[in-house]
């Protein structure tokens, strides 16, 4: 009886009511944005001007939808660093950039956190202190020096430069991995030492499988983050534009977006005309991979990241 009364008190707590309202409002803003993207991507210009918030093709069903906006997005090209880059190449650049940077951005803090948590020396404490200090102290004005360094090393305008820039351990996920490794009981490693396993084998075959859920979850989070990142490719690999940079150009600088109906047969045509429908169609195309990844790996993203204990 007392347990039921306690549950009722928590259920009608003002805090949870306010929290539910805030979460509901936040969810409504996201859902409304997604709704606007979908309804706008399949509208013609006159239909959008007449009814910007109504569903496309009202009363006509699927026949009232127009796919011209999506077709135009695919057939346009982007003038980047003096060359014309078409959408298939931009999608390829996005896949390589997103997967590569996500892998190195996850692997580097994971390995550094393992060594800092496993080997308790003064240098390990120094690494931890550096990470915390850099996260607290704002670091600004490094972009010109970074570009100059990439040019001097021959990495500028190459996709591998993004791997180098994003492959650092000074971020929040270092602390996540550090806490995960600290939570692993020593019984696992001691049993491996008895069997004659080396440090590398213990890390790869014993410790890493215990945190694989956390590793792949952070990897997917980084992939979504880098898939939507246009600033890094714009600054450091201007000759290798990604689909995110293309969508950003559709919104801000249509003068560099050309009609590419003559792919492989000659120079692109005049610059395309920008419209809200074209921008939303581009956003819809860009959202498909992240939505697909979430549907395929939702169990890992929403699953339990905790590790099991030792069973006697």
Which of 167, 160, 17, 184 lies closest to 105 in space, CA to CA? 167
What sign does the CA torsion over 121, 126, 129, 134 have? negative
3-state helix, strand, coil split of the chain in percent (to 5) is 70, 5, 25
Contact (CB, 8 A) for 179 and 211: no
The whole-number pLDDT of residue 207 equals: 86
> Each residue of 83-98: pLDDT tens digit?
888 888 899 999 999 9
Residue 6, pLDDT above cutoff 70: no
The domain segmentation of the chain, as residue ranges, is 2-66, 79-253+283-302
pLDDT(307) > 50? no
pLDDT digits (tens, 9 = 90+) for 257-299: 887 755 454 566 666 667 788 888 888 888 888 888 878 877 7
114 close to 199: Cβ distance less than 8 angstroms: no
For 237-248, the pLDDT digits (tens) are: 988 999 999 888
What percentage of the chain has pLDDT greater than the value 70?
Answer: 84
- Indicate if the alpha-carbon torsion angle 154, 155, 156, 158 is positive or negative: positive
pLDDT band at 110 (very low <50, low <70, confident <90, very high): very high
* pTM of this structure: 0.79
Tens digit of each residue's pLDDT (9 = 90 or more) over 168-227: 888 889 999 998 888 888 777 777 888 788 888 888 888 888 888 889 889 988 998 999
Looking at CATH, the fold of the domain delimited by 79-253+283-302 is given as MetI-like fold (1.10.3720)
Exposure string over 242-252, b if 16+ CB within 10 A, otherwise e: bbbbbbbbbee
């Amino acid at each position: 009886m007392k347990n039921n009364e306690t549950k009722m008190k928590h259920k009608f707590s003002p805090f949870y009511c306010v929290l539910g309202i805030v979460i509901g409002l936040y969810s409504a803003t996201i859902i409304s944005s997604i709704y606007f993207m979908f309804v706008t991507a399949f509208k013609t210009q006159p239909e959008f001007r007449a009814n910007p918030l109504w569903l496309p093709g009202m009363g006509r069903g699927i026949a009232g939808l127009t796919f011209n906006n999506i077709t135009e997005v695919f057939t346009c090209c982007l003038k980047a660093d003096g060359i014309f880059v078409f959408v298939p190449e931009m999608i390829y650049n996005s896949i390589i950039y997103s997967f590569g940077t996500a892998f190195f951005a996850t692997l580097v803090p994971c390995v550094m956190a393992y060594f800092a948590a496993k080997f308790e020396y003064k240098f390990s404490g120094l690494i931890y202190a550096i990470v915390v200090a850099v996260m607290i102290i704002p670091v600004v004005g490094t972009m010109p020096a970074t570009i100059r360094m990439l040019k001097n090393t021959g990495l500028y305008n190459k996709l591998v430069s993004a791997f180098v820039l994003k492959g650092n351990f000074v971020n929040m996920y270092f602390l996540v991995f550090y806490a995960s490794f600290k939570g692993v009981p020593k019984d696992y490693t001691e049993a491996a030492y008895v069997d004659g396993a080396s440090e590398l084998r213990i890390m790869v075959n014993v410790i890493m499988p215990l945190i694989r859920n956390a590793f792949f979850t952070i990897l997917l989070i980084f992939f979504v983050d880098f898939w939507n990142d246009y600033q890094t490719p714009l600054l450091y690999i201007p000759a290798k534009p990604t689909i995110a940079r293309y969508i950003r150009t559709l919104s801000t600088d249509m003068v560099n977006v050309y009609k590419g109906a003559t792919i492989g047969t000659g120079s692109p045509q005049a610059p395309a005309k920008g419209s809200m429908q074209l921008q939303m169609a581009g956003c819809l195309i860009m959202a498909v991979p992240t939505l697909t990844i979430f549907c395929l790996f939702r169990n890992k993203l929403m699953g339990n990241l905790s590790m099991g204990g030792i069973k006697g």
